[in-house]
Amino acid sequence: MVPPEHSFISTWSAIQLRRPYLNMRQFSVLAFLVILLGFTTADSPYTSKYDNVDVERILKNDRVLANYIKCLMEEGPCTAEGRELKKTLPDALASGCSKCNDKQKQTAEKVIKHLMTKRAKDWERLSKKYDPEGVYKQRYEGLIKKST
Protein backbone atom coordinates (compact mmCIF):
# COMPACT_ATOMS: atom_id res chain seq x y z
CA MET A 1 0.00 0.00 0.00
CA VAL A 2 1.18 3.56 -0.86
CA PRO A 3 1.75 5.89 2.07
CA PRO A 4 -0.86 8.71 2.23
CA GLU A 5 1.60 11.51 1.49
CA HIS A 6 2.70 9.80 -1.75
CA SER A 7 -0.85 9.35 -2.98
CA PHE A 8 -1.55 13.08 -2.45
CA ILE A 9 1.56 14.03 -4.42
CA SER A 10 0.79 11.67 -7.27
CA THR A 11 -2.85 12.86 -7.37
CA TRP A 12 -1.71 16.52 -7.34
CA SER A 13 0.82 15.80 -10.11
CA ALA A 14 -1.87 14.18 -12.22
CA ILE A 15 -4.14 17.21 -11.74
CA GLN A 16 -1.29 19.57 -12.69
CA LEU A 17 -0.57 17.61 -15.86
CA ARG A 18 -4.17 17.80 -17.01
CA ARG A 19 -4.55 21.50 -16.17
CA PRO A 20 -3.69 23.80 -19.07
CA TYR A 21 -0.98 26.39 -18.50
CA LEU A 22 -3.38 29.28 -19.13
CA ASN A 23 -7.12 29.25 -18.84
CA MET A 24 -9.18 31.11 -21.44
CA ARG A 25 -9.55 34.26 -19.34
CA GLN A 26 -5.82 34.45 -18.63
CA PHE A 27 -5.08 33.88 -22.31
CA SER A 28 -7.53 36.64 -23.33
CA VAL A 29 -5.96 39.12 -20.93
CA LEU A 30 -2.47 38.20 -22.10
CA ALA A 31 -3.46 38.51 -25.78
CA PHE A 32 -5.06 41.91 -25.12
CA LEU A 33 -1.91 43.18 -23.38
CA VAL A 34 0.33 41.98 -26.21
CA ILE A 35 -1.90 43.66 -28.80
CA LEU A 36 -2.04 46.87 -26.75
CA LEU A 37 1.72 46.89 -26.35
CA GLY A 38 2.12 46.39 -30.09
CA PHE A 39 -0.09 49.37 -30.88
CA THR A 40 1.58 51.70 -28.39
CA THR A 41 5.12 50.90 -29.51
CA ALA A 42 4.29 50.78 -33.23
CA ASP A 43 2.99 54.35 -33.32
CA SER A 44 5.28 55.93 -30.75
CA PRO A 45 7.51 58.69 -32.12
CA TYR A 46 11.28 58.33 -32.40
CA THR A 47 13.29 59.52 -29.44
CA SER A 48 14.02 63.23 -29.34
CA LYS A 49 17.10 62.56 -27.21
CA TYR A 50 19.45 63.48 -30.07
CA ASP A 51 17.48 66.36 -31.59
CA ASN A 52 20.03 68.90 -30.32
CA VAL A 53 23.03 67.26 -32.01
CA ASP A 54 24.79 69.89 -34.13
CA VAL A 55 24.18 68.33 -37.56
CA GLU A 56 25.72 71.33 -39.35
CA ARG A 57 29.00 70.69 -37.55
CA ILE A 58 28.90 67.00 -38.48
CA LEU A 59 28.18 67.76 -42.14
CA LYS A 60 31.08 70.24 -42.29
CA ASN A 61 33.56 67.80 -40.73
CA ASP A 62 34.49 65.16 -43.33
CA ARG A 63 36.15 62.87 -40.77
CA VAL A 64 33.14 62.83 -38.41
CA LEU A 65 30.67 62.43 -41.28
CA ALA A 66 32.76 59.58 -42.72
CA ASN A 67 32.61 57.85 -39.32
CA TYR A 68 28.80 58.12 -39.26
CA ILE A 69 28.65 56.69 -42.78
CA LYS A 70 30.97 53.83 -41.78
CA CYS A 71 28.67 53.15 -38.82
CA LEU A 72 25.59 53.05 -41.05
CA MET A 73 27.39 50.80 -43.54
CA GLU A 74 28.57 48.52 -40.71
CA GLU A 75 32.18 49.23 -41.63
CA GLY A 76 33.17 50.88 -38.36
CA PRO A 77 32.13 51.56 -34.78
CA CYS A 78 29.07 53.64 -33.92
CA THR A 79 28.48 56.40 -31.43
CA ALA A 80 25.26 56.30 -29.40
CA GLU A 81 23.70 58.67 -31.94
CA GLY A 82 24.90 56.47 -34.80
CA ARG A 83 23.41 53.35 -33.22
CA GLU A 84 20.06 55.10 -32.76
CA LEU A 85 20.13 56.35 -36.35
CA LYS A 86 21.02 52.89 -37.68
CA LYS A 87 18.18 51.39 -35.65
CA THR A 88 15.51 53.87 -36.80
CA LEU A 89 16.64 54.55 -40.37
CA PRO A 90 14.92 51.58 -42.07
CA ASP A 91 11.57 52.38 -40.45
CA ALA A 92 11.93 56.13 -41.08
CA LEU A 93 12.60 55.49 -44.77
CA ALA A 94 9.71 53.07 -45.10
CA SER A 95 7.21 55.31 -43.30
CA GLY A 96 8.28 58.58 -44.90
CA CYS A 97 9.48 59.72 -41.47
CA SER A 98 5.92 59.55 -40.12
CA LYS A 99 7.18 59.10 -36.54
CA CYS A 100 9.66 61.98 -36.87
CA ASN A 101 9.03 65.28 -35.16
CA ASP A 102 9.42 68.52 -37.15
CA LYS A 103 13.06 68.97 -36.11
CA GLN A 104 13.92 65.42 -37.20
CA LYS A 105 12.21 65.92 -40.57
CA GLN A 106 14.17 69.13 -41.18
CA THR A 107 17.40 67.43 -40.16
CA ALA A 108 16.73 64.42 -42.39
CA GLU A 109 16.06 66.68 -45.36
CA LYS A 110 19.25 68.66 -44.68
CA VAL A 111 21.39 65.50 -44.40
CA ILE A 112 19.89 63.88 -47.51
CA LYS A 113 20.38 67.05 -49.53
CA HIS A 114 23.99 67.32 -48.34
CA LEU A 115 24.74 63.69 -49.17
CA MET A 116 23.11 63.93 -52.60
CA THR A 117 24.91 67.12 -53.60
CA LYS A 118 28.25 66.92 -51.80
CA ARG A 119 28.85 63.19 -51.22
CA ALA A 120 27.11 61.46 -54.11
CA LYS A 121 29.19 58.26 -53.81
CA ASP A 122 28.24 57.88 -50.14
CA TRP A 123 24.61 58.63 -51.02
CA GLU A 124 24.69 55.82 -53.60
CA ARG A 125 26.27 53.36 -51.14
CA LEU A 126 23.74 54.19 -48.42
CA SER A 127 20.89 53.99 -50.93
CA LYS A 128 21.99 50.54 -52.07
CA LYS A 129 22.16 49.31 -48.48
CA TYR A 130 18.97 50.83 -47.09
CA ASP A 131 16.91 51.03 -50.28
CA PRO A 132 18.18 48.35 -52.67
CA GLU A 133 15.07 48.54 -54.85
CA GLY A 134 15.07 52.33 -55.07
CA VAL A 135 11.56 52.66 -53.64
CA TYR A 136 12.36 55.45 -51.20
CA LYS A 137 15.17 57.06 -53.20
CA GLN A 138 12.77 58.62 -55.71
CA ARG A 139 10.63 60.05 -52.92
CA TYR A 140 13.60 61.75 -51.25
CA GLU A 141 15.18 62.93 -54.48
CA GLY A 142 11.86 64.54 -55.41
CA LEU A 143 11.66 66.14 -51.98
CA ILE A 144 15.13 67.62 -52.35
CA LYS A 145 14.47 68.90 -55.88
CA LYS A 146 11.29 70.53 -54.64
CA SER A 147 13.13 72.33 -51.82
CA THR A 148 15.83 73.84 -54.06
The whole-angstrom separation of Cα 75 and Cα 97 is 25
Phi/psi for 143 (5° steps) reads -60, -45
Mean of per-residue pLDDT scores for the chain: 78
CATH architecture of 55-147: Orthogonal Bundle (1.10)
pLDDT single digits (tens) 63-91: 999 999 999 999 999 999 999 999 999 98
Phi/psi for 2 (5° steps) reads -85, 135
pLDDT single digits (tens) 12-42: 455 445 555 545 555 545 555 555 454 444 5
Q: Output 139 or 98, whichever has higher pLDDT.
A: 98
CA–CA distances in Å: residue 36 to residues 24, 31, 41, 114: 18, 9, 9, 40
Ordered by start, the domain boundaries in the chain are 4-42, 55-147
What is the reported pTM? 0.66
